[in-house]
Amino acid sequence: MLYPLKFKPVYKDYVWGGRNFEKLGKQLPEGIVAESWEVSCHKNGTSIVANGEFEGITLPNLIKLFGRALIGSELPEKDVEKFPLLVKFIDADKNLSVQVHPGDSYARANENGEYGKNEMWYIIAARPGAKLVYDVRPGITREAFAQAVRDNKVESCLKSIEVFPGDAINIPSGLIHAIGQGIMLAEVQQNSDTTYRVYDYGRTDRPLHIEKALDVIDFNSAGRKEKYEGLELDLGNGSSKKHIIATDYFSVEVYNIDGTVTEYATGGKFYIYTVFEGSGGMVWDTGSLDIKAGESLLIPAALGKYALSGRMKALKCYVPNIKKDVLEPLVKSGYGNEDIIASIGGLAVK
């Protein structure tokens, strides 16, 4: 009975948003749109099915109905009880706040059992010169940072990097960061909405969370690699995929489809495809549907064989067995361990 699921986007009107999702082909409501939550089981924005027999049903209720047929037999029970991922688009028409996210243990203790938040960004569009805040500068200590907060000199402690379309950036919990003006990206993250704001560029309408941020910022991470080029695998007939991020929480691959690619959901885990360029279709044993830029699909674990066709680029994300899903296929394709660790974000950070 299960089939590939589309969802109604959950739009967020945060102050730093714009109208740039229209360039992805999205039909936006009036006003500012900062985020589009594509696949979400979070109380602050719950996905509702937009296609097929289950149209109008929320994702949490669908999980209650189908359990592991949807989530997968390989995932732990906690992922059945609480969906593990949240996928969104972000339009930073203005600077986001400088912020940090806690890890699981701190969030459980201080945020009513919420997950921590590890995330990654894939840059879809960036104006010339657009930058991100990524980490503190080398040598910045907790004490120096706290003093900079008191002196309103936080920006002097931060490292910025210029970004371009196609950049992949891993954001582990504890790493201070901010999306700069003029960037549109896709974000894959743990199913959490816990953010500790440190600095908000003079905006005063939202609270800061200085003490909690100081508790969780990793002041020993300065010098960490910012971008990961990934490693590519040939899918045949002019199509390919590139492994870009692989952590214990999520694996993210970039699919470049030019023709038809056959895939399998063999019962172990669900997959999410988020299309950011082009269009095409999907066919499975009992049906078919069209898909285009700005749309996402949840592939149930028990779907079986399916095929993607057309000319499009998409992110594929899932909860991995890193050895089986990432390392073994790359080694079989001739990549060495050093190349794998250097090229894929998250593998060197545990």
At 78, which helix (H) or strand (E)? Answer: helix 77-81
Residues 6+ positions from 150 with CB-CB distance below 8 Å: none
| DSSP symbols for 185-242 | EEEEEES----EEEE-TT--SS---HHHHHHH--TT-TT---B---EEEEEETTEEEE
In angstroms, the CA 176 to CA 30 distance is 32
Instruction: Give the torsion through C-alpha atoms of 142, 148, 151, 154, to 10 deg.
Output: -140
Q: Is 68 a catalytic residue?
A: no
Q: Exactly one of 68, 197, 206, 311 is catalytic; name it.
A: 197
Q: φ, ψ for residue 302 (rounded to 5)?
A: -95, 15
In angstroms, the CA 96 to CA 129 distance is 16
Catalytic positions are 197
